[in-house]
């Protein structure tokens, strides 16, 4: 795979343009190229060789994350981490692969008119999991942070189990979130885009699409700005094409559709945004945990997660930050902060992630970039307060001497009784601060004429426009979405390919 980078103005033509090269874009481009179509992938980020990933937060956040990792909702209630670069967010993600719960898919069938989706998803999961070599993380590879979650859940009698991942040749460096210097991630960049490229697909990096061109109700092309290595504009481009597959992520795809005035009779474009936000809870142990070593997430606690029970909407997994990230998150300043950072090696951490019922929305700024409007509703704030309490219980049952909660003001609990008392703590916005790595929705698929996208991934308002990314979900999934986005990207790519061949 040799992506083209042009630091100046250019023009091009293709049968189909895929906007974005992450999970959804990679899978769609792969399907389209395998079907023999003339595909051009446009990616705003750079093409970067894994060997240049230096595992330093101050460098890699700017290289692999949108807005250098500082993206947030307009009211700052939730930080939103999204990726950029050839490979998108699959460059820096943690490689967990968790299928959607069949019960959630049944709800989507009943409430969103997505009949047939469960069977189509099941086939697509099989293909993608085989292609990305998804497997269960071997027990021998579990690090101490994950053992805390397993042992704590077992001690409490809570449901727990191993996770599956898409990694081959992983040396357990623990730096997944900063990009894998060992090229062990079986992701869009390592697997799907190279194969699409081998079948003739072209990839252009540093090309930010700002407009989907259309006339008389159908797509005619895209236009945008060519960027320098720092993301500043250095030229303009235009591509003529018959079809556009939007895969710029939940948030960016909606913003692009809005900025392009894509017809939207149901006025739903940009609506229905969910974030699956989480907080970080730390536990201090007598023994060294050294949570930065090894595969970051290999075990989950699902006791408080059920796809349809409004009182069970919390998924708990281990999480571990590198030094700068941890320093920024610690609930303390000054001498106390110094003391806490001195305990870095003895920290374990988990994140309670919320299957959110809040629906936010996306708008586009004047440059067509996404603005995220999302404030957690009261039910979600209550559920997150419980998530903190359950996380504290889990860490204490796993052997923590004390648990630090990112509340305002920060709280420390040392016993299960103290942890359980947190269930009744009033919940407020920014208490705790939330971060989201799984935005979803904005261009939801659905059977109703008001849904912006039909169940096959075809946009309703504009002929020749398709959607293949995390925007498609009609509600929060409650679990990490990458494998489902790969699967949906594949389904959209196949449907678009079939329509181009017809």
Ligand X SMILES: Cc1cc2nc3c(=O)[nH]c(=O)nc-3n(C[C@H](O)[C@H](O)[C@H](O)COP(=O)(O)OP(=O)(O)OC[C@H]3O[C@@H](n4cnc5c(N)ncnc54)[C@H](O)[C@@H]3O)c2cc1C
Active site residues: 438
Residue 463 falls in which region: left (phi positive, over 0), alpha (psi -120 to 50) or beta = beta
Does position 318 interact with ligand SF4 (CB under 6 A)? The reply is: no
Closest approach of ligand SF4 to the CB of residue 71, in Å: 22
Query: CB–CB of 258/236 below 8 Å?
Result: no
Residue closest to ligand X (Cβ)? 22
**Which of 5, 12, 18, 24: binder of ligand X (CB under 6 A)?**
24
Do 257 and 250 contact (CB within 8 A), yes or no? no
Nearer to ligand X, 175 or 285 (CB): 175
Nearer to ligand X, 163 or 397 (CB): 163
Q: Percentage helix, strand, coil, to 5, in the chain?
A: 35, 25, 45
Q: How far, CA to CA in Å, does 71 sit from each of 7, 65, 87, 207, 496? A: 26, 9, 19, 20, 32
Q: Which does 132 bind (CB under 5 to 8 A by kind): ligand SF4, ligand X, none?
A: none
Q: How far apart are the first and last CA of the chain?
A: 29
Verify binding: residue 207, ligand SF4, rule CB under 6 A.
Answer: no
Residue 177 contacts ligand X per CB under 6 A: yes
Residue among 397, 469, 473, 478 that touches ligand X (CB under 6 A): 469
Cβ nearer to ligand X, comparing 316 with 400: 316
Min separation Cβ 379 and ligand SF4, Å: 35
- Nearest CA to 256 out of 363, 157, 115, 144 is that of 363
3-state secondary structure 59-99: HHHHHHEHHHHCCECCCCCEEECCECCCCHHHCCCCCECCC
Of the ranges 13-21, 112-120, 381-389, 395-403, which one interacts with ligand X (CB under 6 A)? 13-21
Phi-psi region of 302 (alpha: psi -120 to 50; beta: other; left: phi over 0): alpha
Q: Where are the alpha helices (DSSP H) in 68-223?
A: 102-112, 117-131, 144-156, 193-198
Token pair listed for 96: 């967990």
Closest separation in Å from C-beta 323 to ligand SF4? 16
State the binding string over 373-392 for ligand X (x if CB under 6 A, else -). --------------------
275 is a site residue for ligand X (CB under 6 A): no
Residue 454 binding: pick among ligand X, ligand SF4, none (C-beta 5-8 Å cut-off by kind): none
Of 317, 277, 50, 320, residue with least CA distance to 174? 320
Closest CA to 186 of 43, 18, 30: 30
Site for ligand SF4 in 249-288 (CB under 6 A): none
Nearer to ligand X, 100 or 419 (CB): 100
Residue pair 321/280 in contact (Cβ under 8 Å)? The answer is yes
| Residue 482 partner contact from ligand SF4, ligand X, none using kind-dependent CB cut-offs of 5 to 8 Å | ligand X
Shortest distance (Å) from residue 166 CB to ligand SF4: 9
Judged by CB under 6 A, the chain residues 155 through 184 that form the site for ligand SF4 are 167, 170-176, 180, 182, 184
Closest by CA to 332, choosing from 430, 403, 410, 433, is 410
28-67: contacts with ligand X (CB under 6 A): 42-45
Q: Is 302 a residue that touches ligand X (CB under 6 A)?
A: no
- Minimum CB distance to ligand X smaller for 133 or for 415: 133
Q: Which residues bind ligand SF4 (CB under 6 A)?
A: 167, 170-176, 180, 182, 184-185, 295
């Amino acid at each position: 795979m040799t992506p083209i980078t042009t630091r100046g103005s250019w023009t091009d033509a293709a049968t189909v343009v895929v906007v974005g090269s992450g999970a959804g874009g990679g899978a769609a481009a792969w399907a389209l190229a395998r079907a023999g179509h003339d595909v051009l992938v446009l990616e705003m980020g750079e093409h970067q060789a894994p060997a240049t990933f230096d595992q330093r937060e101050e460098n890699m956040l700017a290289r692999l994350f949108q807005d250098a990792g500082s993206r947030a909702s307009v009211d700052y209630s939730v930080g939103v981490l999204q990726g950029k670069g050839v490979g998108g967010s699959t460059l820096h993600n943690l490689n967990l692969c968790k299928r959607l719960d069949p019960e959630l898919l049944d709800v989507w069938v009943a409430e969103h008119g997505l009949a047939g989706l469960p069977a189509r998803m099941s086939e697509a999961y099989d293909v993608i999991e085989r292609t990305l070599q998804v497997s269960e993380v071997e027990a021998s590879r579990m690090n101490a942070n994950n053992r805390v979650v397993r042992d704590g859940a077992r001690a409490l009698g809570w449901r727990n189990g191993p996770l599956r991942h898409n990694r081959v040749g992983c040396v357990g460096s623990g730096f997944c979130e900063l990009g894998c210097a060992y090229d062990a991630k079986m992701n869009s960049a390592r697997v799907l885009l190279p194969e699409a490229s081998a079948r003739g697909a072209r990839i252009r990096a540093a090309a930010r699409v700002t407009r989907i061109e259309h006339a008389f109700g159908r797509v005619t092309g895209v236009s945008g700005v060519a960027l320098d290595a720092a993301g500043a504009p250095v030229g303009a481009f235009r591509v003529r094409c018959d079809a556009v597959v939007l895969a710029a992520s939940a948030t960016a795809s909606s913003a692009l559709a809005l900025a392009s005035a894509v017809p939207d009779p149901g006025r739903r474009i940009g609506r229905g945004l969910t974030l699956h936000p989480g907080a970080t809870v730390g536990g201090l142990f007598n023994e060294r945990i050294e949570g930065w070593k090894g595969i970051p997430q290999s075990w989950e606690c699902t006791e408080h997660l059920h796809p349809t029970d409004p009182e069970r909407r919390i998924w708990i997994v281990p999480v571990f930050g590198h030094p700068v990230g941890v320093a920024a998150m610690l609930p303390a300043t000054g001498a106390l902060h110094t003391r806490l950072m001195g305990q870095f090696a003895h920290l374990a951490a988990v994140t309670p992630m919320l299957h959110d019922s809040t629906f936010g929305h996306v708008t586009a700024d004047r440059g067509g970039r996404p603005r995220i409007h999302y404030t957690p509703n009261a039910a979600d704030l209550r559920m997150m307060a419980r998530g903190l309490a359950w996380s504290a219980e889990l860490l204490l049952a796993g052997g923590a001497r004390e648990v630090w909660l990112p509340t305002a003001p920060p709280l420390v609990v040392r016993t299960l009784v103290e942890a359980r008392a947190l269930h009744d703590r009033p919940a407020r916005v920014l208490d705790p601060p939330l971060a989201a790595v799984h935005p979803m929705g904005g261009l939801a698929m659905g059977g109703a004429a008001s849904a912006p996208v039909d169940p096959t991934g075809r946009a309703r308002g504009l002929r020749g426009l398709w959607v293949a990314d995390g925007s498609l979900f009609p509600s929060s999934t409650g679990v990490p979405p990458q494998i489902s986005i790969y699967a949906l990207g594949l389904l959209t790519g196949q449907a678009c390919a079939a329509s181009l061949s017809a």
